[in-house]
Amino acid sequence: MRIIIFGPPGAGKGTYASRLGRELKIAVISTGDIFRDEIKQNTDLGGKVVEFVKSGDLVPDEIVTDIVTKRINMPNSKRGFILDGYPRNVEQAKSLGNITKVDAVILLIVPDWIIVERLSNRRICKKCGAIFNLKYLKPKRPGICDKCGEELFQREDDKPKVVRERLNVYEAQTRPLIGYYRDRLPILNIECNSVDIPPKVIVDKILQELQKLNLLG
């Protein structure tokens, strides 16, 4: 099964993709995670993308497509994959169509106010990457990771001003993908109208819709 999970920043793509990946036993390819890891390790790729990430801009198409192509061709993607963060515009979608076949698009529909609320309160562990929320998933000790005891931090692109810019970029460059895929692939519209809805509820909705398309076997 080859799926794209699609929606605005902060819609929960990473959370739902990781759970779906475990449930379906397929790879999760997250361009955001790849870039953050490269930045952390000070690689050549990290140096290329760090300024784009900080400002909330999209990384150039050719860089992202090259990374995705390599990941899709890795052995752990042979059973299938979920793409999180790619494609983000129509040109990337066209490139993806030349690389591989896709079975369906999961479209997460989340109001802007929920996005800003979620991301501006998100904190991440510097060591293990665990994610907390200052309002809805508080650490037991302020500023300290429950899992490993290291310090929590706020990503530059989670600050309210950058979040709003990311939403503007999404509207201008990414939303046209809905129109592009509408006549090409099944689109599963998954609505989320609550800030603290349990991830399992959304994942179960997605699995039900995939079942209706006979994609679960």
82 and 207 Cβ atoms separated by less than 8 Å = no
166 is catalytic: yes
123 is catalytic: no
Show Cβ contacts of residue 95 under 8 Å, excluding neighbours closer than 6 positions: 61, 65, 87
Question: Which one of 13, 19, 36, 123 is the catalytic residue?
Answer: 13
Question: Which one of 2, 19, 71, 88 is the catalytic residue?
Answer: 88
Question: Which one of 2, 19, 122, 123 is the catalytic residue?
Answer: 122
Residue 144 φ/ψ, nearest 5 degrees: -125, 135
118 and 133 Cβ atoms separated by less than 8 Å = yes
CA nearest neighbour of 169 among 85, 108, 88:
88
Maximum Cα–Cα distance across the chain: 50
155 is catalytic: yes
175 is catalytic: no
Task: Cite the DSSP H helix spans in the chain.
Answer: 13-24, 31-40, 44-55, 61-72, 90-99, 112-120, 160-169, 176-182, 199-212
* Active-site annotation, residues: 13, 88, 122, 155, 166
